[in-house]
A and B are shown apart, each in its own frame.
Chain A
């Protein structure tokens, strides 16, 4: 939210009205982002939304159809990849199979013209950083997936790039390893101070690691913000639905004033809630997270319905409530002794916590 400290910082990568077409297919459409110095910035979106394409245009593997990419103020759109002070950790790692770990990590340093002795010292340092000190003379084929991922990271970090691009670097790892590497990666970013642009389709990964997140769908940026912004104040239906679980309820917007909306809920109840910027009167949707809906006596809440299903989730319980108009609302309650869980078939009223509901841009 009002992130004054962050917004003071210099812009590292400025993407201005970028459009990328493959033939007559538009992979990216009018993307504008400013990624700040020393930031852990994540591109989050479903498969095929254009995350890799965006990363590849920054790296220089794809030319842009329209728009500009500035790196610390300098237009790099026409520079070939080897002239950009940007390194990539590829999704498939792309370690050179005929070179051992040492040679792989040395590669960038030698191309930059570093002398062999200091380059080797740097390789040692970087390999220590990713905890692969003893593996310098292994070939990539002799390493596990997690180790290869570290080598790819070391190789990209060694030349000390201004910006590091990471394309789903954790997707090939198993769950446990992934969780461990997440923390390490975050720590590494803090320690090195390098700007990270991190691509993922895993919302949990995005929420836990990033300073800011850009949610992308169908080649367009939907919303940019901190994890909290995006989870608690989603701007539209796509973002609300993609990040976490939510109830999308169709409403009539009766009035909009001072960023608040008065909405007519199904069944005749009314609620006043914050409205996303750009929301309009008329027909619309509000988003309410399941954990922020509570139970009340029938007819005492803002809506009422009948319990249709209970789903046991360990610490939590999902209660599906069918409203009179047939829509289903999911309520998430804790499975503790104090909490009330109505049985199937019970008529219940539903209440929203303060600030739980939010009117979205459709």
Chain B
């Protein structure tokens, strides 16, 4: 019976799936494979080599890439830390302050950046910064990144917090803890997996951002994605494939970490609630 309702038995299901997977991953795989190509051509395989990776680190474009990478990491770390702190406070207010006026509105506000087309945010940010006379530079990139990272940090944090019974906080208050102590000693440690997961997600979102960064970065400042884009405009060379593959690897590692931390948290939560029954 169950088999008849199974999605897998819908006509054309497997074909569609394969097509989607192919379109999604084939370009990535090609880029990753050809980054190890010994030939200068980007279409003909000339044997395995690491020369394009060496080129990324020590070639003519290396100083530019290095500066861009440093900017990217500084921005991503600062934006992730700041947006995680803001998201944690927002989640605490949204989920632990009981009902308050404008709760639904606040929720929409926090998550709005997920819905607004990125190009619109980018243009709006640029107009905003020039309207208030802010010189574009690393600071404008940072501010823009903090803002659009908040919902990404918020989602795992709020999800985790929702699963924490407020009985623990009541027990802490009953045992003479102040509100602040209750937050620091009970809620924060229990939320930690969500917070770490949110931080990692925010970090990678910031590191990978191109559109908004490109609009608000100003002259002379590059992040990795804008530096890569700049190079591509002068023609695709295999060193672009190498640096893209590196960026891809960093993303994969962070997303996997974020997922793993989230899963550990879930398990912990399960044993905690099972234990309490």
Q: CB distance A93 to B190 under 8 Å? A: no
A162 at the interface (CB under 8 A from B): no
The interface-forming segment of B30-38, B116-124, B170-178, B248-256 is B170-178
The distance from the CB of A9 to the nearest CB of chain B, in whole angstroms, is 25
Closest to A148 in B: B275
A94 at the interface (CB under 8 A from B): yes
Q: CB distance B176 to A143 under 8 Å? A: no
Q: CB distance A155 to B189 under 8 Å? A: no
User: Which one of B172, B174, B271 lies within 8 Å of A97 (CB-CB)?
Assistant: B271
Given A96-B186, A97-B272, A140-B272, the answer on whether A87 and B277 have CB atoms closer than 8 Å is no
Contact indicator per residue, chain A 76-115, by CB within 8 Å of chain B (1) or not (0): 0000111000111010111111100000000110011000
Given A141-B272, A141-B274, the answer on whether A96 and B174 have CB atoms closer than 8 Å is no
B14 at the interface (CB under 8 A from A): no
Given A98-B189, A141-B271, the answer on whether A93 and B276 have CB atoms closer than 8 Å is yes
Give Cα A262 to B268, complex, Å: 66
User: Which one of B173, B189, B277 lies within 8 Å of A81 (CB-CB)?
Assistant: B173
Q: CB distance B177 to A111 under 8 Å? A: yes
A59 at the interface (CB under 8 A from B): yes
Closest to A80 in B: B173
- CB contacts (< 8 Å) of B175 on chain A: these are 82, 87, 107-108, 111, 155-156, 159
Given A82-B176, A95-B276, the answer on whether A111 and B171 have CB atoms closer than 8 Å is no
Give Cα A172 to B277, complex, Å: 7
- CB contacts (< 8 Å) of A172 on chain B: these are 277
- CB contacts (< 8 Å) of A95 on chain B: these are 171, 275-276
- CB contacts (< 8 Å) of B167 on chain A: these are 90, 92, 94
Q: CB distance B177 to A96 under 8 Å? A: no
A340 at the interface (CB under 8 A from B): no
Q: CB distance A141 to B275 under 8 Å? A: yes
The distance from the CB of B99 to the nearest CB of chain A, in whole angstroms, is 12
Interface centre among A60, A97, A143 (most CB of B within 10 A): A97
- CB contacts (< 8 Å) of A159 on chain B: these are 175-176
Number of residues of chain B lying within 8 A (CB) of chain A: 24
- CB contacts (< 8 Å) of A97 on chain B: these are 168, 190, 268, 271-272, 275-276
- CB contacts (< 8 Å) of A108 on chain B: these are 175-176
- CB contacts (< 8 Å) of A94 on chain B: these are 165, 167-168, 170-171, 276
Q: CB distance B277 to A92 under 8 Å? A: yes
Q: CB distance A148 to B276 under 8 Å? A: yes
Closest to B190 in A: A98
The distance from the CB of B163 to the nearest CB of chain A, in whole angstroms, is 12
- CB contacts (< 8 Å) of B274 on chain A: these are 141
User: Which one of B171, B176, B268, B275 lies within 8 Å of A90 (CB-CB)?
Assistant: B171
8 Å CB interface, B155-209 against A: 165, 167-168, 170-178, 181, 185-186, 189-190
Give Cα A60 to B189, complex, Å: 25
Given A80-B173, A82-B173, A94-B171, the answer on whether A111 and B275 have CB atoms closer than 8 Å is no
8 Å CB interface, A43-65 against B: 59-61
Give Cα A66 to B186, complex, Å: 32
Give Cα A96 to B177, complex, Å: 13
Give Cα A87 to B276, complex, Å: 18
8 Å CB interface, A108-144 against B: 108, 111-112, 140-141, 143
Give Cα A111 to B173, complex, Å: 10
Give Cα A195 to B93, complex, Å: 37
- CB contacts (< 8 Å) of A92 on chain B: these are 165, 167, 276-277
Give Cα A173 to B114, complex, Å: 48
Give Cα A172 to B273, complex, Å: 13
Closest to B186 in A: A96
Closest to B167 in A: A94
Closest to B182 in A: A82
Give Cα A98 to B271, complex, Å: 11
Interface centre among A60, A94, A112, A159 (most CB of B within 10 A): A94
Give Cα A97 to B168, complex, Å: 9
The distance from the CB of A60 to the nearest CB of chain B, in whole angstroms, is 8
7 further A-B contacts with Cβ under 8 Å, apart from A96-B171, A96-B186, A98-B189, are A81-B174, A82-B177, A95-B171, A97-B268, A97-B276, A107-B175, A141-B275
By a beta-carbon cutoff of 8 Å, the part of chain B in contact with chain A is 165, 167-168, 170-178, 181, 185-186, 189-190, 268, 271-272, 274-277
6 closest A-B pairs (Cβ-Cβ)?
A97-B272, A108-B175, A111-B176, A94-B171, A141-B271, A141-B275
6 contacting pairs across A/B (C-beta < 8 A): A82-B176, A94-B165, A97-B268, A98-B189, A112-B176, A159-B175
